[in-house]
Amino acid sequence: AFEDERYDYIFKLVVVGDSGVGKSSLVNQFCHESFTFDLKSTIGVEFNVKTVEVNGKIIKSQLWDTAGQERYRSVAASYYRGALGAVLVFDVTYTKSFLNLPFWIDEVKRYCADAKILLVGNKTDLKDLRGVTHADAFEFAAANNLMYVESSAKDNGSVGYAFKKLLGEVQSDR
C-alpha cells in the first residue's frame, strides 16, 4: 500500500562475519520475526528490507546478507558499496569467529570506510557453550572503536535492539 512506502530515510546495511555465526538468522528474525533452524545457504547475496521507527524517524533499511559467499573469502566490493552501516557478527560459542574479527573490520574499512560498525556477539542463548566472555568482547570493541551488543537470533527483542541501535547511529549523522 502507498502508506507502506513512506519513510524518512533509506539506509543500506551489510551483515558480515564468519560462516555459521548466525547472520541469516539475525536478518530473518529482524525482517520476518521468526527463527528457523537449518536455513539453507545459497550462493549470492540475500536482500531483505525492513522499515522501523527510530528516534521518531521512519527508516527503511536494506539488509545485505552474504548468503554463504564469505566461506570463500570473496565477498565482492559491490556488496559493500554504499553501505552506511555494518553489522559485524561473531558467535560467542565459537572463539575462532571472534579471533577472525580483524579480517572483517579491515574489509569493511576498505570498502565502506565511513560505515558505522556494530559488533554483535550472537548465540547468547547457548550459555553453557560460551567461549567468549562479555568482558573480552566489550574490551575488543572499545579498542577498535566499535559499538557492542549481544544477541540471540531466537530472541526478537535482542535482535531488534541491535539493528535499531545501528540504524539510530547512522541516522544521527544525517
SS3 109: helix
Q: Candidates 11, 14, 25, 108: give the one binding ligand GDP (CB under 6 A).
A: 25
- Count the Cβ atoms, other than its own, within 10 Å of residue 65: 26
Grid cell, residue 161, equals: 535492539
Closest CB to ligand GDP among 122 and 171? 122
The helix (H) or strand (E) run that includes residue 118 is strand 116-122
What is the smallest separation between the CB atom of 25 and ligand GDP, expressed in angstroms? 3
The residues that bridge with 59 in the sheet, in sequence order, are 9, 52
Q: Candidates 57, 126, 144, 168: give the one binding ligand GDP (CB under 6 A).
A: 126
Calculate the alpha carbon distances from 54 to 12, 13, 164, 167 in Å: 15, 15, 7, 7
How far is Cα 39 from Cα 27, in angstroms, rounded to an integer?
A: 12
Q: By CB under 6 A, is residue 37 in contact with ligand GDP?
A: yes
What is the smallest separation between the CB atom of 152 and ligand GDP, expressed in angstroms? 4
Site string for ligand GDP, 138-167 (x = CB under 6 A): --------------xxx-------------
Q: Which part of the chain contacts ligand GDP (CB under 6 A), choosing from 55-63, 112-120, 121-129, 134-142?
A: 121-129
Q: Give the interface with ligand GDP as residue ranges (CB under 6 A).
A: 19-25, 37, 39, 122-123, 125-126, 152-154
